[in-house]
Amino acid sequence: MTTGAQQLSDTEIGKDANVLIMELNKGLQSANLGDQCKAIAQFPNLLEKYPFPVVVNSVSLKIAQVFCDGSNYVRLCILRACSSCRSHLEKLTVCDDIVRKLMPFTASNDPVTRALTLRLFGTLSQSSREHIGVHHAVLKQIESHYAVESDAAIWSSHQLAPLSCAFAVNLCPILCRRLISLSTECEVKLKLLRLGRYMHHDVQIAEQMRECLVNMLSVYNTSEFVTNILDTLTSLASSASIHTCHQLDLLIDFLYKDDRTPVRLNALHNLGLLAYRAPHHWEKSHLTKLCSHYVSVDKSPLEREKILHVFHCLACSEQAVDILQTCSDNSESSIVFCLKNALLTFPATRLTVKAIQLACKLVLLTVHPGSSDASVQHSITGTAAESPFPSGLFVCLMAAHFTVGPTGQETVDGSTNGQLPWFLAPEGISLAALKLTYTLMVQFFDSFPEYASALHKMGLFEHVRLSKFFVSRRNIFQCNLSVSKSTRWNEVLLKLYGWTSLFTRSNVSVMMENAFV
């Protein structure tokens, strides 16, 4: 017995753990299959209660022995139990001993046994990620003709490739060979190409993987293949930044030239990911092309919404300077023109919400608080410039959408339950989107208090019944709200109501900070 195990046994916790391990061992050695499976199902609870490395090692060795001696059904039970306690299996220090016990089963005559063993290796990936024997077993079976075994090897590769550079380097040539092979089925290729996102550990394999996937775009031009390849290339480009600019050009090229709506939406989704993960690779030409695509007459509202989402992600990053430079252009290929086009479209939709978010963000970035619209100071660059999107115009356009007439909402039984405006409707616009919109609105009115009176004209609280009291010492505004079919907006409405009720007081800023806790 090791010193750590001896010290653990001397404590009360150690004595309890030893008793439970003995009971577990009794169940595992039982000749009754039901008792054995029950013990297997309960061992994750033991690790949850006693998450000590000595307990994890002891239990895992016993479970590995049962895996070797049991049937495929018992092995499946062990795999499911291990999957539920992967965080504790990371503490294994005897992983080499466990792999040595399991390795002979990778050469079994039964493909199901081989598949279960490979999946168990994948479950233990945190501990076995640098084991050469595990790498060899997974890479060998990834080309298996048995679907159950091939799927298990692909799943294990997804677990090992992000963690091990050596495994990714050895996997890349096998992956490229199978993807370009005519004998590989299309369904298998779809599963394999998703592994390309992990080929970012080395410049050479990243280049090789990208070249292979780009060549596939010209051969496999179905929507399913194109969208999966673009997703993989985007994920690879966001991790291996040497290809990010090329990926931006590729996505915008598909956005312009492909007539299929699912492909264009997928390209915009990936552009949004790159705007969030790698905003420093964007150039002004990319923004201009997106603006030109926005004003095309045949584009759907969903595409335009995603384009505004890309602009908002960039406006929230260090790339906001290029956004402001693009705003200074008054042509139809400018962000300001896109915003005005969206805000002048009625009735309000999700596109309107995105437009309000972006316009509010741009005004806050462009106009320094206390400046007039005629001559403003950039809050980022500090240079004087003409405001591309006047705050007064933004308030007028935004207020027009909030004052639009309400629409009836039907209840479950089909009857109409009151008249609710679009921003209180229980469907259509997500809670997260409205919360972000209201947060930006409060920031805007805090920077431009001269427009705060417009909040009363928007009718935000026409369908809200409030009883309020103000705790002056803590500067916290509390309300009990009762909104018909709209209780999910209580929190965000409370913030705006508290601001509009007290915007003339000197403690507005403190109250707002407390309201947003």
- Cis status of the peptide bond prior to 390, with omega within 30 of 0: no
**DSSP letter string over 273-298?**
HHHHH-GGG--HHHHHHHHHHHT-TT
In whole angstroms, what separates CA 67 from the centre of its chain?
36
Cβ atoms within 10 Å of 443's Cβ, excluding its own: 16
Q: Could you tell me the two tokens for 345?
A: 């479209």
pLDDT given at position 101: 93
Question: What mean pLDDT is predicted for residues 353-381?
Answer: 65
Distance (Å) of CA 349 to CA 99, 171, 384, 471: 56, 46, 35, 37
pLDDT of res. 219: 92
Higher pLDDT, 450 or 496: 450
Instruction: Tell me which DSSP letter residue 472 carries.
Output: T
How far apart CA 111 and CA 234 sit, in angstroms, is 35
- Over residues 118-124, the mean pLDDT reads 95
When pLDDT is averaged across residues 216-234 and rounded to a whole number, the result is 94
Residue in the block written with tokens 């002979």: 104
Token pair recorded at residue 376: 């403003």
Q: What token pair was written down for 101?
A: 């016990």
In whole angstroms, give the CA distance from residue 192 to residue 288. Answer: 35
Decide: 376 and 367 in contact? Cβ < 8 Å. yes
Task: Pick the range with the lowest mean pLDDT from 224-238, 416-430, 487-501.
Answer: 487-501
Query: In whole angstroms, what is the distance from residue 493 CA to residue 514 CA?
Result: 14
DSSP state of 328: T
Distance in angstroms (rounded) separating the CA atoms of residues 199 and 162: 8
pLDDT tens track for 455-477? 777 766 565 554 443 333 333 33
More confident: 65 or 485: 65
Give Cα separations from 449 to 8, 86, 350, 503, 510 (angstroms). Answer: 64, 53, 27, 8, 15
Q: What are the beta bridge partners of residue 483?
A: 464
Would you state the structure tokens that stand for residue 236, as one six-digit string? 């690879």
User: Quick one: tokens of 28?
Assistant: 């595992």
> Taking the alpha carbons of 419, 424, 425, 426 in that order, is the dihedral positive or negative?
negative
- Rounded Cα distance, 484 and 194, in Å: 46
Q: Does the structure show a pLDDT above 70 at 516?
A: no
**Least confident stretch, 28-42, 250-264, 333-347:** 333-347
21: confidence class by pLDDT, cuts 50, 70, 90: confident
Give the Cβ contact number of residue 197 at 10 Å: 22
Contact in structure between 297 and 304 (CB atoms under 8 Å): no
Among 264-278, 331-345, 410-424, 443-457, the range scoring the smallest mean pLDDT is 410-424
| Residue 69 CB-density burial (10 A; 0-12 exposed, 13-18 middle, 19+ buried) | exposed
Residue partners of 285: CB distance under 8 A and separation at least 6? none
335: confidence class by pLDDT, cuts 50, 70, 90: confident
Question: Residues 204-217, buried b or exposed e (16+ Cβ, 10 A)?
Answer: ebbebbbebbeebe
pLDDT tens digits along 84-108: 999 899 889 899 999 999 999 999 9
Q: List all residues 6 or more positions away from 221 whose beta carbon is below 8 Å from its beta carbon.
A: none
Q: Which residue has the tokens 């080309």?
A: 143
Torsion, Cα 414 415 421 424, to 10 degrees, reads -70
78: nearest Cα among 114, 47, 36? 36
SS3 state at 418:
strand
Residue 270 pLDDT more than 60? yes
